[in-house]
Amino acid sequence: MDNGFIFNQNKCVACGACSASCILENGWDVIPRVIYRFNPEALPGIPVINLSMACNHCEEATCMKGCPSNAYSRDPFSGAVIIDETKCIGCRYCQWNCPYDAPKLNLKRRIINKCDLCMASHPETISPACASACPTGALGYGDLSEFDVNSGFDWLPDKSLNPSMRITGSRDSTGPRIIAGNRFSEKPHGKNVTKSLINSELSLVLFSFLTTVSAALSVTYLTLPGSQESYLPLIFVLTAGVISIFHLKSPLLAWRSFLNIRFSPLSREIAAFTIYVAAVLAAIITQLPLFFIVSALSGIMLLIIIDNVYYYADNRNYLFLHSGQTFISVLLMISFLSEGVLPFIFIGLLKILSVIYTATSRADNYKVQIMRLFRLSFLLIAGAAFISDLSMDYMIVASLFFTGELIDRILFYHDFSPVSIAGLVNKK
């Protein structure tokens, strides 16, 4: 993209004219342009920094590439990344993938809105409303080739997306000093993924957990004679599918989620889920060994693809080693259900080490610390009863075990934290 936003941090006074004009010009119910502020009280000896940020229309736009419904496209004239609201299913996967918090969920319309360079209002507009309204000339729009690539500005997440934005000016050549986070006069708008996924998206937790249980049962039934007639894998996976619908803000458009299977991990997850359901159903109806093998293999493959949905949004190493990922969990569940003591011990030890490492390396509040303690306790108690064959009721042991696995999955969503400018600003 040859043109883009040009922001001079020396000139911005955080008046909010850019954000207000953006809302008025497009009639938004959301706030696409956010002003992040550092040291708004202008304390002496500390630089005052303001940053006006909306969609940067990146060259490698992960919002567009990851969208399962192909709702995003690039305008051939301006290069702007535009969302077609009629195609948006409200899955919010673009919010996970965008490090600049550009996509905003419109709660009234249950779809995503974001900056489109004012093309929807006035396609012939040379300069977006936000740049035209800036009274100090801090925010402009023009040829990016005249400016150096943003370097040394550590508020910008680095995901190699080549954003169409340049930041100029510097109040302090040594960069901003890090002071208490509450010095920011306003909290960054946008997502807080770790909280929203647990509080408002419990459907995702239940979907992934029930799917893992279903896949574990499918594999286990291959080794248990006479158990192939059980309908439990189908019941669990169908329940997971129904629950997942509640994650979408536009369930009637769920069919569009297959359309970007080539690029979107979420599209591949939904396709793999459909294949798994079909395989389980075929195995139950035909009772043919081949279909039971296919259902077991497709179930394992589905869980690997589910994990990849989160790796795509947050590919930091700690997530690969997390005890709550579905692939590790299904291996432990298979060991438990098939009474494989040695595999259970090996995988269980890996999980215990992962839980301890995560607990000691993250600064959690007391509620999360209690959850980690319960998760570890349930695994240790259930594991000890399982390994030593203690005279405990099997249902009690199983309840402790699967409750611990559910808590582990909840903690996975808590620890899942894609890189975002809001998170980086909060740390400064």
Q: Are 138 and 33 in contact (CB under 8 A)?
A: no
401-410 per-position pLDDT tens digit: 999 999 999 9
What is the predicted pLDDT for the residue at 268? 96
- Structural tokens at position 230: 């059980």
What is the predicted pLDDT for the residue at 155? 72
Q: Are 87 and 105 in contact (CB under 8 A)?
A: no
Instruction: Please state, rounded to an integer, the average pLDDT across all residues of the chain.
Output: 85
118-158 per-position pLDDT tens digit: 875 555 556 899 999 999 999 999 888 887 776 556 677 87
139-143, 326-330, 332-336: which range is least confident on average? 139-143
**Contacts within 8 Å (CB) and 24+ apart, 223-230:** 223/338, 224/338, 228/283, 228/287, 228/292, 229/284, 229/287
6-63 per-position pLDDT tens digit: 998 888 989 999 999 999 988 888 999 999 887 777 777 777 788 899 999 999 999 9
What is the predicted pLDDT for the residue at 124? 56
pLDDT band at 79 (very low <50, low <70, confident <90, very high): confident
What is the predicted pLDDT for the residue at 228? 58
Q: What secondary structure does DSSP assign to 313-370, as a single string?
A: H---HHHHT-TTSHHHHHHHHHHHHTT-HHHHHHHHHHHHHHHHHHHHHS---HHHHH
What is the predicted pLDDT for the residue at 195? 44
What is the predicted pLDDT for the residue at 315? 77
Which are the contacts of 315, defined by CB distance < 8 A and separation ≥ 6? none
376-391 per-position pLDDT tens digit: 999 999 999 998 876 6
What is the predicted pLDDT for the residue at 204? 92
pTM: 0.86
| pLDDT for residue 189 is more than 50 | no
Q: Give the whole-number percent of the chain exceeding pLDDT 90.
A: 55
| pLDDT for residue 84 is more than 50 | yes
178-187 per-position pLDDT tens digit: 444 444 344 4
Place of tokens 């509450």: 182
What is the predicted pLDDT for the residue at 246? 81
How far is Cα 325 from Cα 296, in angstroms, rounded to an integer? 18
Which are the contacts of 363, defined by CB distance < 8 A and separation ≥ 6? none
Please name which of 219, 272, 204 lies closest in space to residue 410, comparing C-alpha atoms: 204
239-298 per-position pLDDT tens digit: 999 998 888 877 888 889 999 999 999 999 999 999 999 999 999 999 888 999 999 999
